[in-house]
Amino acid sequence: MQKMVYKLTAVLTALVLAVAGALTVLLTAPFTVNALSPATSGNRGMHNYSRWASTVKSYLYSDGDVLVRVECIGVSNVIVEQYSKEFQLLSSQTLSLELPVWGGFYAGEDANYIICGQTNEEENNNKEVIRVVKYDKEFHRLGSASLYGANTTVPFEAGSLRCDEVNGTLYVRTCHEMYTSDDGLNHQANMTFSVRESDMKIMDATYLVEYSGVGYASHSFNQYILVDEEGYLVALDHGDAYPRGVVLNRSVYTAGNGEFDGISDSVLVQYFPGATGDNSTGAAVGGLAETSSGYLAVYSANTAGSGMAKRNVYLSYTPKDRFTGNATVVTQITDYAGTGYSDPSAGNPMIVPTGPDEGYILWNDVLAGSSEWDGLPRNTDLHYVTYSSGGKVSSVQTVEDVWLSDCQPIFVDGKLVWYTTNSGVNQGAPTFYTLDESGLTATAVRSLTSIEVTSQPDKTVYLEGEKLDSTGLEVTAYYDNGTAEVIDGYTLSGFDSSRLGQQTVTVSYQGFTASFSVTVEQEQVLLYDYNRDNVEDVLDVMWLAQRVVDGSAKPAQDLNQDAVVDVLDVMTLAKRIS
């Protein structure tokens, strides 16, 4: 009996050592694949401009539990990257621009839109000059709408593009270089058009030489548009001639049917000194926002008219119920007073609503150049104020080493969020910034390089029909910045409990895989587990011996088949399980 116990112990010990050896091999041989890396670009400070703006290339929006980066990089590629709220890259795809000139992007409530175009120097009224491409939220193409001719030789020229939507209609405000005029020149102006989103049909468009009563501005070096809470179209333009200044327009009739009423009210928020049509206005227009009682516009301007005077940041407030220049209140936020090349000047400010009557205004310092003003970054200090109803602002706060870019900050989960990438030759991956009442945080995007099973699951041997049990499994992710973390959210595949033998279970996480091994064994019927402890051992021999002694043994326990259950059957059982 002692010999049988020794044999059973030896077998168990051998099994334990074998499993331990297998675990050692698995833990030292992780499976890795190529890293998922963010696209690199150079958008830092690209919202600043000296004379006229350029189209916005960088966008960020929130889609449920993820943040989505959309950016036009180069001349034809549009990257779409999804990030977690912790700024971990989750997925990436690239779209090809359908026409060669980038216009802009808009994240609608139910669909996404990319606007692009092409030049029309031949002034052909039958040539497509602007295309609006509609995508679902996973960026599958759904349709498009096009403008032909449209008095356009170069779409989106010397300005930008922005959109808003209401009642199934997309409104687009942008700019263009127009057909040759009577003076032999191709002048630039703003233009606006609307698209019915259900069937992507152009509903209305204004692109001819007009007057301010229909929201026309020429030249128009930056454009903004919103549909206010009452349903009116509100637009903001940077003009250098007709008019020369920051001009705010509001439609007389509410929007939503896709057609323009042709009439709008106009307020000259800020006049720029200088000759009519002189491109050098000494200003940059940075944003438009609505409050419950009025409209806010932010801009930086050299209101003195002197070439080397510094730009300052201004906030204008125009009441909704008194939409006039006399009722408009302008607040100067900064006081840059130097005149030397090394003295700072205000960059183009951005405005970010965080509620119906509050939000942030942000800007960087820039450096006056050797000519009038070249908008070069002076340093990386970020300045900001908060605003409240009526255009009241807080004191200026400053954070060192923080950049703005042409990515308009968004308000998500109680925080402002935006990203920047390096500028110049050394383009780089995004750094995400968050700002709230507690301060500012910067997070450089890290790329996942591999995952590894760093602790095996508790259970690695299964019987036929059993379900996989991952209790005890630990998976670690490794990143390109040298950090690592234990993760969850992975998926397991490859386990089949109907297939006997050793199997490889694959762990998948964000495009990377690792693995561990399990074994599936045939379920064994324990013929001699008389004491029902799921083991055939010496205790079963003792159990049968006791039944023989007390006469309670049953005919089924006649193991030697001599028609009697006695000590010979006990000896037979001992041999069979030894």
HEC sequence for 101-161: EEEEEEECCCCEEEEEECCCCCCCCCCEEEEEEEECCCCCEEEEEEEECCCEEEECCCCCC
Residue 481: per-residue pLDDT: 75
For 489-504, letters b (16+ CB in 10 Å) and e give ebebeebeeeeeeebe
Place of tokens 């059993």: 466
Rounded average pLDDT over 542-556: 78
- Provide the pLDDT confidence category of residue 19 given band limits of 50, 70 and 90: very low
Residue 345: per-residue pLDDT: 87
- Report how far apart, in Å, the C-alpha atoms of 282 and of each of 9, 175, 242, 305, 415 are: 90, 20, 16, 7, 32
The answer to whether residue 131 scores a pLDDT higher than 80 is yes
Neighbouring C-beta atoms of residue 335, cutoff 10 Å: 10
Q: DSSP E strands: which ranges in 41-100?
A: 58-63, 66-73, 77-84, 89-96
Rounded average pLDDT over 460-479: 94
In terms of pLDDT, which residue wins out, 381 or 317? 317
| SS3 state of residue 186 | coil
Q: Strand pairing of 461-463 and 512-521?
A: parallel
- Provide the pLDDT confidence category of residue 525 given band limits of 50, 70 and 90: low
pLDDT 10s digits, 194-208:
999 999 999 999 999
pLDDT 10s digits, 405-424:
999 999 999 999 999 998 65
Residue 308: per-residue pLDDT: 60
95: left (phi over 0), alpha (psi -120 to 50) or beta: beta
The answer to whether residue 3 scores a pLDDT higher than 90 is no
Q: In DSSP terms, which residues pair with 387 in a beta bridge? A: 359, 393
- Reading the block at residue 380, the tokens are 């990386």
Residue 214: per-residue pLDDT: 81
* pTM recorded for the entire structure: 0.76
pLDDT 10s digits, 377-389:
555 689 999 999 8
- Reading the block at residue 395, the tokens are 């004191």
Rounded average pLDDT over 182-193: 96
- Reading the block at residue 385, the tokens are 């104020």
Rounded average pLDDT over 119-126: 98
The least confident of 285-289, 316-320, 369-373 is 369-373
> Which residue type does 6 have?
Y
* Average pLDDT along the chain: 87
The answer to whether residue 127 scores a pLDDT higher than 80 is yes
The answer to whether residue 92 scores a pLDDT higher than 70 is yes
pLDDT 10s digits, 250-309:
998 888 777 776 678 999 999 999 999 999 999 999 999 999 999 999 999 998 765 567
The answer to whether residue 60 scores a pLDDT higher than 60 is yes
Prior bond of 219 cis (ω within 30°) = yes
- Provide the pLDDT confidence category of residue 29 given band limits of 50, 70 and 90: very low
Place of tokens 């349709």: 143
Rounded average pLDDT over 555-568: 77
